[in-house]
A and B are shown apart, each in its own frame.
Chain A
């Protein structure tokens, strides 16, 4: 199956700093990637849709100035959590779907466990 690589797998940062998370599709092109957040014992909540070459689409309630998304190429999307606070501590997961076929499954990165202290 297709591979989506996410880095880092975990990060601890101080409150007020910024953290960048990378998501790469390794063996297919993804014009669209998705960023989810998952709190303990909760479901995956879609934060935003990352579109190659254009602005990301954010879900209601997600601050676009806090969660900066850049999709500069067909294989790379980045999520930057700016001015992180303890309440931003969560499991962040990216996913991508092949853009050359329809109705395909989403492939997930390994996830990034963010802890803000």
Chain B
């Protein structure tokens, strides 16, 4: 069973702070990693994907990947109340994506 683990939270951060979301995975052969955001009652929407070790930045979001440690993270800078949602880490299984349970983020004004 290929596992994707996330802390369910809730993670609470004040507006303007950095939110750090973490994810570990069990399949060492995984090559592609994705972060999705899901608002309650809605489908997931893609935030970022990362394939290579290191950091990848896109606006306020930075994804970090460490394949040796089987660890991927998402940093959200200058967090806004509108960022409050569940963040899902997804790992490519070769055909479908395997999702973690998600981390609930709450950004307080």
The listed residue with most B CB atoms (<10 A of its CB), out of A32, A46, A106, is: A106
B95 lies within 8 A of A49 (CB): yes
- Chain B residues near A36 (CB, 8 Å)? 99
Q: Identify whether the interface residues of B are mostly helix, strand, loop, or mixed.
A: loop
Residue in contact with A43 in the complex, picked from B46, B49, B88, B96, CB distance below 8 Å:
B88
Among the 9-residue stretches A12-20, A62-70, A73-81, A107-115, the one with 4 or more Cβ atoms under 8 Å from chain B is A107-115
B43 lies within 8 A of A43 (CB): no
B41 lies within 8 A of A106 (CB): no
The yes or no answer to B17 lying at the interface (CB within 8 A) is: no
The yes or no answer to A87 lying at the interface (CB within 8 A) is: no
A46 lies within 8 A of B45 (CB): no
Count of residues in A whose CB is under 8 Å from the partner chain? 22
- Chain A residues near B22 (CB, 8 Å)? none
Binary interface encoding of chain B residues 42-76 relative to chain A, with 1 for a CB under 8 A from any of its CBs, else 0? 11111001010000000000000000000000000
The yes or no answer to B34 lying at the interface (CB within 8 A) is: yes
CA distance A103 to B31 in the complex (A): 8
Closest to B6 in A: A43
Q: Distance in Å from the Cβ of B90 to the closest Cβ of chain A?
A: 7
Contact surface of B with A, Cβ cutoff 8 Å? 31-32, 34, 41-46, 49, 51, 88, 90, 92, 95-102
Besides A6-B43, A106-B90, A107-B46, 17 more A-B contacts (Cβ < 8 Å) are A32-B95, A42-B101, A43-B100, A44-B99, A46-B96, A49-B96, A91-B41, A95-B97, A103-B31, A105-B34, A106-B34, A106-B46, A108-B43, A108-B44, A108-B45, A109-B43, A110-B42
